[in-house]
Amino acid sequence: MEELFDILPSEWAERFLETEKERIELQFKDAGPLSLLQSKAGGRGYLPKEQGYPVTEEGKPLSLLAQINFSEMPQMENYPEFGLLAFYVDFQDDLYGLDFENPTSQEGFRVFFFDDLGQESYTKEEQEIFFDEVEKGDYYSLVNGEFEITGQISDQILLNDSCDFKNEFGDYFYELADQIFDEDADKSFALANLASKLEASQIGGYPFFIQDDPRVYIENAQQDTLLFQLNSKYNQESGKVDIMWGDCGVGNFFINKQDLINRDFSNILYNWDCS
């Protein structure tokens, strides 16, 4: 990334380049009706009847946020090579099922991993029945439609403020920028602007936040790995909002690295924030 050397002293540019790691960067397309097994955001997904439809304690049905069919994705170390990972959240809650006091409580959200895709699933029509009594005014859909998800491997440098950044450099982004640039605001702004260009919906890699990394406020947080990140998306061609977390925010799901390797998705940290 040549831009780093335009902004940073060469020794610091090299230091940042050492943090490069792979991610699966995700793209979204309105491709018409999709099957229950395709990678998608929104719509209805693959959900074995044996699993049962996910609901809150009050019996409110959760909605499919996104699902990733890993057989459709490029392979990346530690992440599944096959199987389907599904994320459900509460579209009838203005916080989308997030519990700030306990962000690992899978009450207002669920994460499922299905390695056997041959089980009998609820059909789209059968899933729609769960929403028959939901009033439109009580439904805060953050995905406005059904969008096919495709992915490609890209390299990412650690530039966004996060626990990962603090663990790597010993300081948070702006404190380190002040040390490097001796409070040269223009250089700090240029580096922050470069960081914003790397922000994306993705699997793996480094997260970004509009506010703060929630793991900062959790003592001994075990979720050290970004599982899935879904960014807000404005469709410039149609002039419509496809995905929107609050006021142009981002949603993140974190997992412990060993849990990921073990395919144990029971202890996920869910967060979203916006400006």
Q: Predicted confidence band at 138 (pLDDT cuts at 50, 70, 90)?
A: confident
Share of the chain above pLDDT 90, in %: 89
Which of 2.160.10.10, 2.40.50.140, 2.30.320.10, 3.40.309.10 is the CATH number of 2-273? 2.30.320.10
How far, in whole angstroms, is CA 189 from its chain's centroid? 25
- Give the residue ranges of DSSP H helices in 137-199: 163-169, 173-181, 185-197
**How confident is the model over 101-123, as pLDDT tens digits?**
999 999 999 999 999 999 999 99
* Per-residue exposure over 34-50, b if at least 16 CB sit within 10 Å of its own CB, e if not: bebbbbbbbbbbbbeee
* The predicted structure's pLDDT at residue 87: 98
HEC per residue, 32-100: CCCCCCCCEECCCCCCECCCCCCECCCCCECEEEEEEEHHHCCCCCCCCCCCEEEEEECCCCCCCCCCC
**How confident is the model over 74-110, as pLDDT tens digits?**
999 999 999 999 999 999 999 999 999 999 999 999 9
* The predicted structure's pLDDT at residue 137: 79
* The predicted structure's pLDDT at residue 203: 98
Check: CB of residue 35 under 8 Å from CB of residue 121: no
The whole-model pTM stands at 0.95
Q: Which of 174, 157, 191 is nearest to 3 (CA)?
A: 191
Q: What is the mean pLDDT of the chain?
A: 95
**How confident is the model over 215-239, as pLDDT tens digits?**
999 989 999 999 999 999 998 888 8
**How confident is the model over 4-53, as pLDDT tens digits?**
999 999 999 999 999 999 999 999 999 999 999 999 999 999 999 999 99
**How confident is the model over 158-199, as pLDDT tens digits?**
999 999 999 999 999 989 999 999 878 899 899 999 999 999
Across 56-63, average pLDDT: 95
* The predicted structure's pLDDT at residue 133: 87
